[in-house]
Chains A and B, each alone.
Chain A
Amino acid sequence: MSIPLSWYLILAAALFCLGLYGVFSRKNAIAILLGIELMLNAVNINLVAFWRYLNPTQMAGQAFAVIVFAVAAAEVAVGLALIISVYRRRKTVVADEIDLMRW
């Protein structure tokens, strides 16, 4: 294990920023969800790296990563169902045009 911990943290930070850029710059609602997936993966890299480098006998980091997996799966299932439902009613997946709740 000759890799410094900082390499993992910097990689995860770069991945998170790319996901953030994707969420804010894309028009298509599905592409926004793709960006969210990148951000969740960046968080998971950090959790697993801290588990490995700080205290491998304490499984908190991996357990939290498993919970993040479950939340990501739930989020994608509900998010894509919402997008498909909206597409069926309004014939659009552009996030700006789904403004029914804009006040």
Chain B
Amino acid sequence: MTAEQIIFLLTGALVLGSAIMVVTVRNLLHAALWLVASLFGVAVLYAILQANFLAVVQVVVYIGAIAILFIFAVMLTRRELMEKGRQTRPNWWIPALLGLLLLTGLVLLILNIPGINRTAAALPVGLDTVQALGTALVSPDAYVLPFEVASVLMLAALVGAVYVATVDKK
């Protein structure tokens, strides 16, 4: 077992362990903090995969913005549900069964794909992945259209969120 595999296994344990805490812990504020730990593990996975830009964006956007939004939303809503009563539905075992079934099905499916145990070849010499991604995102024969559509979506979400969350002055 190489050092890289050991790092992967430790990171995977961090991601899955924190994800289990996210879906089971009672206090939602703690759940949001466990989500931060899980997302940080995913950023480490991106770094192992040599997707440098995505590793940084994962920390900045997911941990820096989305997780903080969650913490704000938890603090702005009522704390009673958090403190008393069940956090899960009474028939929580149905989704647990569904998740386990889906997991076994997916794992069986994945292990039956031919060539699934391949390891990655080294990146081509001189390939700057950040530069290549930037060029691909604005190049007309690559992904400029999805990129622009995403920016329109962000604007629509911004205006929509402001409109929905504004207090009515009636």
A14 touches B16 (CB 8 A): yes
A38 touches B77 (CB 8 A): no
The contact sample of 6 A-B pairs, CB cut-off 8 A, is A4-B118, A13-B110, A31-B87, A63-B146, A78-B157, A80-B69
Residue-wise, chain B 17-33 has the 8 Å CB interface mask toward A (1 for contact) of 00110110000100110
What band does the interface of chain B fall in when counting residues whose beta carbon is under 8 Å from A?
A: 35 or more
Once the chains are docked, how many angstroms separate the CA of A76 from the CA of B65? 10
Q: Which residues of A pack against B, CB within 8 Å?
A: 1-11, 13-28, 30-31, 33-35, 37-38, 41, 44-45, 48-49, 51-53, 56-57, 59-60, 62-63, 65-67, 69-78, 80-85, 87-88, 91-94
Q: Which residues of B pack against A, CB within 8 Å?
A: 2, 4-5, 8, 12, 15-16, 19-20, 22-23, 28, 31-32, 35, 38-39, 42, 45-46, 48-51, 53-54, 57-58, 61-62, 65-66, 69-70, 72-74, 76-78, 81-82, 86-89, 92, 94-96, 98-100, 102-103, 106-107, 110-111, 113, 116-124, 127, 129, 132-133, 136-137, 142-143, 146-147, 150-151, 153-154, 156-158, 160-162, 164-165, 167
